């Protein structure tokens, strides 16, 4: 029958055209997925760079740049992935309506959907970050130190700024989800509300930001002996705790539980522990290759001067305004490593930094330096920032500098034998 033959021919032509179009759509999706994969591969290292910068900024390093640009890039990438996900759903519907032998949609849609979901999952998980690390309002210059019973803040942000118009998102805070297996490790509860809900209105105006401002920690009581006690290998100011934040994210029918962790915090019970706790924060964030290593102080690594020198200068630049010059750093280097030590390969131990006496005085090096920092901040800030205080000068160097100067020349140096002391040496020639 010619009519039937013609109909079959038309049907075959239509089928061929449909097959061609379906292949073209799948090829276009494949190409776009390749570009999005490249985008994600470029974005994630950028985010890691920001995290490293944030970690160094916590211990005083200069910081430049927030998360706004990363948020734009992450959001743009996620929008495209959600669009592809929706498109693949529609292709599934078409497959149910019309299918045929060797239909490219039969396997192609499921394969591309799995790739989209994997990429979306990866992007969303990494996009949830701690924007502002835990910090007490009393010590804004020393984050990551928390005192029991004292309010602290922490802020998280989801860099994928996509939220349903009628869907609130709730974040929840917890502490030490996977603590070290040690009986001496102290356990804490969060006293105040550990949840924060973000409404669509707030999300649209400020971004997907959960700002926890009034969190408080209380130590759990251990059985039998009242408060938990730390009799392990590390002291309480070397014990590291991690705060976790989770959020149940929903968008266009997708549900993901996102989780992020803070940098480790040191939890103290008395404000007089802030100084030594800060030494722990400094040492960890300077030297740890793993930002989640809670066992760091069970065997703390040694520090090279190439890392330690700039970090000591940051303590002054971030807190009082002016860092340490090469001469001041040279004096500190000689004090730590010895006058004749070749510092290229020399390493300083944690004990030498915080626990052992640092000659000629009886104080450990960090205690001595931190008291000077406090003195400068509280009483000598303007003089220090104007460069009027040489400060870090050894006694022998002091004599050399003043030896051939005229009467009335004076020099201000920090005492090496008393806590937070400053001495004034001057030249006075006696008439013969």
State whether 151 and 72 are in the same domain: no
DSSP H or E stretch at residue 256: strand 254-261
Q: What's the sign of the alpha-carbon dihedral 277, 278, 279, 281?
A: positive
State whether 61 and 73 are in the same domain: yes
State whether 122 and 140 are in the same domain: no
Six-digit token pair at 142? 């020393």
Q: Last residue of some domain: 67, 93, 127?
A: 127
State whether 25 and 57 are in the same domain: yes
Q: Which CATH number does the domain housing residue 210 bear?
A: 2.60.40.630
Q: Which CATH number does the domain housing residue 336 bear?
A: 1.10.238.10
Whole-angstrom distance, CA of residue 14 vs CA of residue 8: 10
Helix, strand or coil for residue 136?
Answer: coil
Domain that holds residue 356: 303-426
Sheet holding 254-261, edge to edge: 195-198, 169-175, 243-251, 254-261
State whether 92 and 145 are in the same domain: no
Six-digit token pair at 14? 């239509």
Q: Is the pTM of the predicted complex or chain greater than 0.85?
A: yes
Helix, strand or coil for residue 282?
Answer: helix
State how many domains the chain has.
3
Whole-angstrom distance, CA of residue 281 vs CA of residue 301: 14
State whether 7 and 92 are in the same domain: yes
State whether 36 and 47 are in the same domain: yes
Q: Domain for residue 18, yes or no?
A: yes
Mind listing the pLDDT tens digit of every residue in the chain (432 residues)? 787 877 777 877 777 667 777 788 888 888 999 999 999 999 999 999 999 999 999 999 998 878 999 999 999 999 999 999 998 888 877 666 676 677 766 776 788 899 999 999 999 999 999 999 999 999 999 999 999 999 999 999 999 999 988 889 999 999 999 998 888 899 999 988 899 999 988 888 889 999 999 899 999 987 544 444 555 567 899 999 999 999 999 999 999 999 999 999 999 999 999 999 999 999 999 999 999 999 999 999 999 999 999 999 999 999 999 999 999 999 999 999 987 777 678 899 999 999 998 888 789 999 999 999 999 999 999 999 999 899 998 888 888 888 888 888 888 899 998 899 998 888 887 765
């Amino acid at each position: 029958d010619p009519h039937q033959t013609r109909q079959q021919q038309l049907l075959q032509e239509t089928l061929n055209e449909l097959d061609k179009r379906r292949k073209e759509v799948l090829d276009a999706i494949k190409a776009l997925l390749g570009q999005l994969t490249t985008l994600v591969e470029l974005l994630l290292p950028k985010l890691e760079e920001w995290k490293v910068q944030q970690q160094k900024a916590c211990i005083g390093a200069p910081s430049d740049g927030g998360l706004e640009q990363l948020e734009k890039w992450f959001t743009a990438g996620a929008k495209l992935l959600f669009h592809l996900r929706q498109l693949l759903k529609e292709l599934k519907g078409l497959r149910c309506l019309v299918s045929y032998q060797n239909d490219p949609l039969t396997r192609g849609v499921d394969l591309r959907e799995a790739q989209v979901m994997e990429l979306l999952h990866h992007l969303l998980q990494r996009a949830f970050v701690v924007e502002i690390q835990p910090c007490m309002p009393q010590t804004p210059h020393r984050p990551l130190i928390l005192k029991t019973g004292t309010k602290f803040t922490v802020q998280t942000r989801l860099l994928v700024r996509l939220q349903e118009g009628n869907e609130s998102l709730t974040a929840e805070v917890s502490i030490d989800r996977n603590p070290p297996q040690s009986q001496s490790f102290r356990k804490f509860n969060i006293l105040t509300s550990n949840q924060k809900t973000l409404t669509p209105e707030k999300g649209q105006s400020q971004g997907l930001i959960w700002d926890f401002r009034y969190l408080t920690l209380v130590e759990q009581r251990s059985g039998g002996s009242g408060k938990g006690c730390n009799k392990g290998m590390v002291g309480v100011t070397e014990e590291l705790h991690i705060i976790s934040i989770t959020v149940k994210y929903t968008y266009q029918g997708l549900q993901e539980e996102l989780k992020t962790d803070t940098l480790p915090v040191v939890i103290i019970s008395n404000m007089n522990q802030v100084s030594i706790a800060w030494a722990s924060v400094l040492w960890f964030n300077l030297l740890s290759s793993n930002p989640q290593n809670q066992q760091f102080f069970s065997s703390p690594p040694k520090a090279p001067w190439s890392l330690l020198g700039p970090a000591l200068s940051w303590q002054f630049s971030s807190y009082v305004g002016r860092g340490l010059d090469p001469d001041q750093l040279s004096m500190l280097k000689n004090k730590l490593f010895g006058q004749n030590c070749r510092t290229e390969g020399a390493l300083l131990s944690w004990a030498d930094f915080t626990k052992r006496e640092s000659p000629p005085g009886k104080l450990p090096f960090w205690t001595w330096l931190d008291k000077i920092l406090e003195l400068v901040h509280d009483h000598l800030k303007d003089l220090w920032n104007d460069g009027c205080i040489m400060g870090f000068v050894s006694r022998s160097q002091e004599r050399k500098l003043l030896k051939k100067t005229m009467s009335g020349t004076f020099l201000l140096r920090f005492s090496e034998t008393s806590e937070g002391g400053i001495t004034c040496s001057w030249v006075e020639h006696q008439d013969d």
